[in-house]
Structure 1
């Protein structure tokens, strides 16, 4: 897809969703490996308590895109620096993990297993209901006897990875260096609003929507990152052109560890959020707040759709799966059509 001309056609499903009242606002961005870029936006960054328009420079709560843009990338960079290997157990960085039971299953978990969601840990736990002291909650995560189950997509995996990053680097996640237009501490006035949260008693804007990440101090391995569309596209292009990670690390995020997962990312499969037109080894990820990023290496193409679909409430059917799939299929169709000209 060229940087201009076709982006409005690709944005049409999002425009229709905004018009129907399914989502308040959206920004769609497309980037190619050679740097061509196009961005389109419409709708509201906030409708409650008052309406404010979305723009290209609106910051979005990226939610679980934190897992791939920050956590996975950071772990792989630590591997490249020789500080850990993917198949090291987490206890190499967190020796006190389940320290009262040397035979605990958690002590055998590896970085690769956690990145690829191939562990026994549960999907999520309402840790914020146990208190809001970040240090105590981190200790609770490390010492909890987690109920075992089959491998599932798990926030707990990435909470542990976030703690490992803090231990290895000696720096809290919220203070980690980040590229421009990505931040754990955005200016709330520049952010899209998320939910009117009954727990916090306010509309959430500029602070992380995820309750566990908020209770952990605002940043965790699974959530907490904010970004603009250009911040997300800069990251996507760095994957496409190989500047973010080594060839071995790029291979890791493109290689399946299970039917639907690579190291960190979701692999293309039937019915996934990226649509059915993607190349077989395309990867992507979504965020609960309504964000998403997909990378098609074979085409040299990536796109991101950022929405605030949980504003003012998550308790409605926003149709986000259908919107994401329709957007991805339209982006690829237009890209392929242009490539044949």
Structure 2
């Protein structure tokens, strides 16, 4: 058995332990090494209520905040490279109506780069969906809402606004924009991992977006993408081959972040054994993708840890870190 296979087996054993203990219904682990060899393995249940279905290697997952890096960051950086936008220009260069009733407020000075790095004063959480379900009205509401400036934190609002900018540039809804090879904005229920039994949509969500704000907006830049482990490894393999040291997704913006992605820090999701040249991101539904450019490999852990409820200690934080440590063990 190769070292790579032994590491994968150790990582998969930690996932199996989480499933067997009842902390998560099921999951898929995938890895591609520097030579392009890949392993994908699944176990557990894709759904437990109101019916039971097994997890499969090709199960589709609601990728949640992985949308930020797989879709939104990619397209914003492509626009910057093409000269369509200036990353250091304010969002108002594309969204001139953003807080336009008060031209001197701080929101109108927020730049694309600051949003990519979560370096803005927006609040960490904002329940936009509680203001209604009209997507046009909600977009207008968010663009005009007065936020109290706070410390820079990870905030979905950054990527909602970047998504609005992409819609303006494309002249269409975000769900009408090509999500990229292997990805989609929804998935067939019979092929998808279930997420939450939603208290305000009154059904178990299967193949439709879990994120409340994204659902109400009918598509957004911070969530909504669906994909399989194979699609994530394809994406990771492509980035490992093309994103050199000067690539913005590898360029630090802070001690924890690059453009869109996270970089290693004490306690981060990728574990302590990866190289300093690793980037990664996670999704609230229980998903994650990590790319180690020094060692030339990528891994993805996909779970349905919010099924049937998010209000349960799934142990996902420790699981992600342990999987990363196993995959990167010397």
Instruction: Compute the TM-score of the two structures, normalised by the length of structure 2.
Output: 0.96
- Structure 2 partner of 1:191: 192
Q: Deviations over 1:69-124 (max 9, x none)?
A: 11111111111111112112111111111111111211111100000000011112
Please give the root-mean-square deviation of Cα atoms over the aligned residues, in Å. 1.5
1:32 touches 1:240 (CA, 8 Å); kept in 2? no
Identify the range of structure 1 (31-40 vs 255-264) with the bigger mean alpha-carbon deviation. 31-40
User: Which residue does 2:144 correspond to in 1?
Assistant: 143
The question of whether the paired residues in 2 share the 8 Å contact of 1:7 and 1:39 is answered with no
Output the CA distance in 2 between the equivalents of 1:83 and 1:291: 32
1:198 shift after superposition: 0.8
Structure 1 residue 3: deviation in Å? 7.3
Q: CA deviation at 1:38?
A: 1.0
1:226: which partner in 2? 226
Residue 264 of structure 1 corresponds to 260
Corresponding residue number in structure 1 for 2:298: 302
Q: Please state whether the residue corresponding to 2:121 is helix, strand or coil.
A: coil
Deviation at 1:35, TM superposition (A): 2.2
Partner Cα distance (1:86, 1:186) in 2? 33
Which residue is equivalent to 1:339?
none
Partner secondary structure for residue 125 of structure 2? coil
Question: Aligned equivalents of 2:252 and 2:180: distance in 1?
Answer: 28
Contact 1:267 1:283 in 2 (8 A): yes
SS state at 2:247 partner: helix
The answer to whether residue 295 in structure 2 is matched with residue 277 in structure 1 is: no
Unaligned runs of 5+ in 2: none
Aligned residues: 329
Task: Give the drift of 1:6.
Answer: 5.1
Distance in 2 between the 1:230 and 1:128 partners? Answer: 32
The whole-number CA distance in structure 2 between the counterparts of 1:3 and 1:136 is 51
The unaligned stretches of length 5 or more in structure 1 are 337-341
C-alpha distance in 1 between matches for 2:124 and 2:6: 42
The corresponding residue for 1:119 is 120
8 Å contact from structure 1 (residues 293, 302) kept in 2: yes
Secondary structure, in 3 states, of the residue corresponding to 1:30? strand
CA contact (8 A) 1:233 1:303 kept: yes
Q: Residues 1-341 of structure 1: matches in 2 within 5 Å?
A: 7-217=8-218, 219-242=219-242, 247=244, 251-333=247-329, 336=330
